[in-house]
Amino acid sequence: MMNPVSDQRQGPIRDHLYTYADGKEFEGKTPEEVFTQIYQGNLWENSQSVSGHGSTPEQTAEILRLLPGMLRRLGVKTLIDVPCGDFNWMQHLDLSGIAYTGADIVGELIESHRLKYAREGVQFEHFNLLRDTLGAYDLVFCRDCLVHFSIGDIHRALDNIRTSGSRYLMTTTFTGQTENRDIPTGGWRPLNFQLPPFNFPEPVMLLNEKCTEWDGLFGDKSLGVWRVDA
């Protein structure tokens, strides 16, 4: 696991980042307003991807390498990617034999994706995970999403996923995180889904992303897989 930042520095630096990305400027706005504002203003300030630093080739190389094999082992034939963001890295994933649905709360993104990327087996939907009814998929792929939601909105999203009839959830989890803080939706903080208030069991599979952001401060960033229909 890549993590050159010492344990003594880790806590204070992470605390600083919570303050930096606390999302207070988004209070009182709907989730669609929040994420549309982030998209239109490129508020995550990345020149390669409006979806942020985590969607660059460097930060997704390990996922592109390992995820296809994981999907095969899970028997995934239908997948919804929510949020699909700007599709910057997912367009390079081997989706052979998988019906892919990219879903996002930002309508402008979906309109653009339908023109540029839609093809047989690849479709896009304007979708609000907190409001719209989710259909049944083999895998709900939910990377870098719930970390931006308030605790209340995370529970709403998870309830939607649980009642969808889907088989698996794959979502971002930070295995070294020791507490889960609340924020307004639109902010950011790391989450460990095996801790309260979520208390997920051990994941069926775990993919460490080898995240190098902030000099390896988030080397525990992973994609965990859990059964939804268990």
Distance from the Cα of residue 25 to its chain's centroid: 21
User: Residue 47: pLDDT band by 50, 70, 90 thresholds?
Assistant: very low
160-182 pLDDT per residue, tens: 999 999 999 999 999 999 999 99
Mean pLDDT of 96-100: 97
Percentage, residues of the chain above pLDDT 70: 82
Which pair of structure tokens corresponds to residue 126? 């304007």
Domains of the chain: 7-227 (3.40.50.150)
- The average confidence (pLDDT) of the chain is 86
User: Residue 143: pLDDT band by 50, 70, 90 thresholds?
Assistant: very high
Task: Identify which has the larger pLDDT, 119 or 35.
Answer: 119
What's the pLDDT at 60?
87
65: pLDDT strictly greater than 90? yes
114: pLDDT strictly greater than 70? yes
Mean pLDDT of 151-156: 98
